[in-house]
Structure 1
Amino acid sequence: MAFISFSVLSRGLGTVIAFAVFSTTLLMPSQAEAANPRYASIVLDVESGEVLSASNADAPRYPASLTKMMTLYLLFEAIEDNTLTLDDTFMVSSHAAAQPPSKLWVRPGDKISIKEIIPALVVRSANDVAVVVAEGLAGSERAFAGQMTDKAHALGMTGTIFRNASGLPDDLQVTTAKDMAKLSLSLMQDFPQYYDYFSQTRFVYNGKTHTGHNNLLDSYAGADGLKTGYIRASGFNVATSAVRDERRILTVVMGGFTAKSRDIHTADLLDRGFVRAGLLNRHDWIASADVFDSANAITRPETRTSTARKLAVANTVNAPARTSVANGAGTETEKQAVDDPIQRMIAKADGNSLRPMDAWAVQVGAFRDPNGAKTLANKAVSQLDASLNNSRVAVTPSAQEQGVFRAQLVDMEEGQARRSCAQLIQQGMECMVVRADVDG
């Protein structure tokens, strides 16, 4: 796996992680996402702390086996507190052994060591072993679920309630994509010495080799953790961290129709995330939509973790055009859904007939540095077909935020603006159509 250098995530003096919310006027959700009520996602750049995209990130969702990341968090905490060692063992109860698959098929009375438990949870996602941990640490799964919820709230996961240690169905066990991102980040920040476990794809227990469910670890270059999950109510979930050119991106995707479609969509989010993160220039790039909204800032209480990073979270910023949809009642058929980019544009404002024909623009970014804004706008023009690239580049100061400059292509008719933005989306750039005479 790629070496994971968390210099900004080292343990030490406690600090605060601030989750700041960006304005959400970038793009409308895709048709495929609108048809999937279980869908949620978030993508962030770990080093810079910028959220690169998010959709339904605060909406309640079922965590499924992403729950086991919290089970592991409390297990790692016990090890670091010297309550346990990797060689210690837990006894398997009849309740633990009776859990439905996925499981390790441990039997009542068996003993399993902590160093065997960790890969069983990460790779096999063993429900029976999750209960073994719960009973070993708290005496009962119910008591352990209470500890899980308390820890979640201490980490700032305010939309999360745990009812069991495994993620098996429970209508009251809920979370959000943003909370799962916080948990993933907390695992990396607080226990980097155990992060290698999340890159494992197989392990041996009692002479038998067990393989995992996280195919992204093999199929996506640079992916090195974390966890998958599925129950019928949740759809297919995954939290993924990947490294490219020494830059680390973290994603959470929830509600996939199948494991394959979820992985395709996650790969697309990661690809776009790395492209967008590449635009970050000494933190000059702000967002393709509006700018920082401090009124919606959320802070994480001080914990055992030390970090100086601030993470920005956008609740409903666009997700990419490529996604997956279910086709047919009662079946799960994979396909690449080609969204109609025109449908992703912002709806027409009232009173269009009173506007001049060329009062439209395409906004492609916002910068602290006007030169960065101009560079991106010029790049956008170069991506357009000859019939569309005669628009004028404009760098305009934001009326809402002093010192922020917006990169726009102006002097367009409405149809030209919408076609141009649709073409930029297909080229992998983000944009939105705005009224040129309104500070969008």
Structure 2
Amino acid sequence: MIEVLRRSLLAVLALTVLWLGAAQPTLAQENTRYAAIVVDAETGEVLFARHADSRRYPASLTKMMTLYLTFEALNEGRVHLTDVLTISPRAASQPPSKLGLAAGQTITLDNAMRATAVRSANDMAVAIGEHIGGSEARFTNMMTLKAEQLGMTQTRYVTANGLPDARQLTSARDQAILARAIMRDFPQYYSYFGLHDWAYNGRDYRNTNGLLATGNGYDGMKTGYTNASGYNLAASAVRDGKRLITIVLGGRSTASRNAHVAELMDTGFEVERRRAQGEAIQVAQLFFEQRGFGVGGDLSPNAPVAYASVAEDADIGGEATQVSYTAAPAPAALPTRVAPSPSERVAASRPQTLTAALNATAGSRLSAPPPSREPARASSGGWAVQVGAFREEKIANDWLTEVHRRFRSQFAGAERNVQAAGEWYRSRFVGLTEVGAKAACDALAERRVTCMVIRPN
């Protein structure tokens, strides 16, 4: 009798092993953390969305909002790039990734922002939050309030750096809204997100976003990872005058996430190219689905996907919020445009398209004294190079300073000059020879900076 039972148990065990082996490929295809969205940065049209409104963990994408509030404080004059931050014990105690300054050490706000954007330094994000908000807790309240103002309906912040916390949630659509807001509201600071590397205290740091080095139009924005979130990436690229934003949350690895973002971007730009050629593609989502992006995640586009969501009776603000993982369909109606924010009304008065504004106001160091608005004096010639025209004089000044920093050799003999023309402020380098002006503009064009050669009157 015992022998019969033993043989029966062995048979059951063998069948169980065989069943698990057969089921493994299906289980491997599932990705319960995946969500994605592709958005036209200029119009806000949603070209593709999958689980875009499902709540996810932002991880270090949180730092996009941290820097948004920093840009806002800089723009309002509440802080300055030259401000010196003293690292608090709380900031110093943050786990990696971090810059690693000890409590009591100091760093300028500009370098802290670079460390946050390039290194994804958790300690610097907290230091920035404390500097602007007085405390991290107060700063994260400001972050959540700003998210509400921008129309980010699924987002709540409780840390400035995105380290794990069950209460800190977002969605792919919300991150697209935030990405557009950064570009639209603070184009002069956008280039922080596109820094390929950064040198500090004798050490070189490379950006965690590997797509920046591919030379395929990528110029931002931010990576993120925790065990709970998976591999996140908010990416932006511009090709043929069109700019797209792609958000992928919950990737299984850096490589698969980057590859998936690249595939989505390529497909999105294909939609834009075909439309420009006159092809009628009214619902871009269908175009993506025909390419295999209709259902699944970053490893197998057509695999069944379960996604993370907060239970209906969960208190998002509570200490013990539990995140449940349940299967559910994608939203029945996909909006064709991400929600606009109140600041979009201000941006509507700007003269340029979003892409042109980013090309012409991608400044990242604005601490030099503003250039003079006196009439141009021809020091070595009467030619000029105009690098932008803006509604705000400060932005015109700031951009001149940044272009001069980045192209100092091309404008060594030129004078920086902001000329008022009605409601516009023209950013110009004056006093150049014809050869010098054309050579300088060519150098700017190679780096995708908008410019115009101005002949003498």
TM-score above 0.5, yes or no = yes
Instruction: Identify the residue that residue 306 of structure 1 maps to in structure 2.
Output: 346
Of 279, 282, 286, which residue of structure 2 is paired with 1:286?
282
- 1:277 lines up with 2:272 in the alignment: yes
Whole-Å separation in 1 of the counterparts to 2:180 and 2:130? 26
Whole-Å separation in 2 of the counterparts to 1:192 and 1:109? 33
Maintained 8 Å contact 2:38/2:264: yes
Mapping for residues 107-122 of structure 1, pairs under 5 Å: 107-122=102-117
Could you tell me how far 1:254 is from its partner in structure 2? 0.4
Could you tell me how far 1:76 is from its partner in structure 2? 0.7
Could you tell me how far 1:306 is from its partner in structure 2? 2.9
Q: 1:50 to 1:32 in 2, by over 3 A?
A: farther
Maintained 8 Å contact 1:202/1:210: yes
CA deviation digits over 1:382-436, x for unaligned, max 9?
A: xxxxxxxxxxxxxxxxxxxxxxxxxxxxxxxxxxxxxxxxxxxxxxxxxxxxxxx
Maintained 8 Å contact 1:189/1:305: no
Q: TM-score, normalised by structure 1?
A: 0.59
- 1:104 lines up with 2:99 in the alignment: yes
Any unmatched runs of 5+ in structure 1? 1-30, 310-440
Query: Which has more helix, going by share of residues?
Result: 2
- 1:195 lines up with 2:190 in the alignment: yes
Q: 1:284 to 1:75 in 2, by over 3 A?
A: same
Q: TM-score, normalised by structure 2?
A: 0.57
Instruction: Identify the residue that residue 240 of structure 1 maps to in structure 2.
Output: 235
CA deviation digits over 1:193-238, x for unaligned, max 9?
A: 1111111121111221112211010125111110000001000000
Give the secondary-structure state (helix, strand or coil) at the position aligned to 1:254: strand
AA matched with 1:92: I
Whole-Å separation in 1 of the counterparts to 2:179 and 2:338? 18
Could you tell me how far 1:288 is from its partner in structure 2? 5.3
Maintained 8 Å contact 1:33/1:39: no
Of 155, 160, 167, which residue of structure 2 is paired with 1:165?
160
Any unmatched runs of 5+ in structure 2? 1-25, 287-331, 350-457
CA deviation digits over 1:296-346, x for unaligned, max 9?
A: 98743423763459xxxxxxxxxxxxxxxxxxxxxxxxxxxxxxxxxxxxx
AA matched with 1:287: V
Maintained 8 Å contact 1:92/1:109: yes
Whole-Å separation in 1 of the counterparts to 2:336 and 2:260? 28
Instruction: Identify the residue that residue 209 of structure 1 maps to in structure 2.
Output: 204
Maintained 8 Å contact 2:45/2:337: no
Instruction: Identify the residue that residue 181 of structure 1 maps to in structure 2.
Output: 176
- 1:64 lines up with 2:104 in the alignment: no
AA matched with 1:61: R
Q: 1:259 to 1:220 in 2, by over 3 A?
A: farther
CA deviation digits over 1:31-70, x for unaligned, max 9?
A: 8997101000000122343211110000000000000000
Maintained 8 Å contact 1:190/1:305: no
Maintained 8 Å contact 2:44/2:337: no
Of 75, 79, 82, which residue of structure 1 is paired with 2:74?
79
Flag as ranges the 4+ runs of structure 1 deviating above 6 A.
31-34, 292-298
Mapping for residues 363-382 of structure 1, pairs under 5 Å: none
CA deviation digits over 1:105-135, x for unaligned, max 9?
A: 0111111111101110100000000110111
Identity of aligned residues (%): 45
Maintained 8 Å contact 1:154/1:303: no
Could you tell me how far 1:187 is from its partner in structure 2? 0.6
Maintained 8 Å contact 2:60/2:120: yes
When Rg is computed on C-alpha atoms for both structures, the one with the higher figure is 2
Give the secondary-structure state (helix, strand or coil) at the position aligned to 2:205: strand
More relative contact order, 1 or 2 (CA 8 Å, 6+ apart)? 1
Between the two proteins, the alignment pairs up a number of residues equal to 278
Q: 1:48 to 1:299 in 2, by over 3 A?
A: closer
Q: CA RMSD in A?
A: 2.5
Q: 1:86 to 1:146 in 2, by over 3 A?
A: same
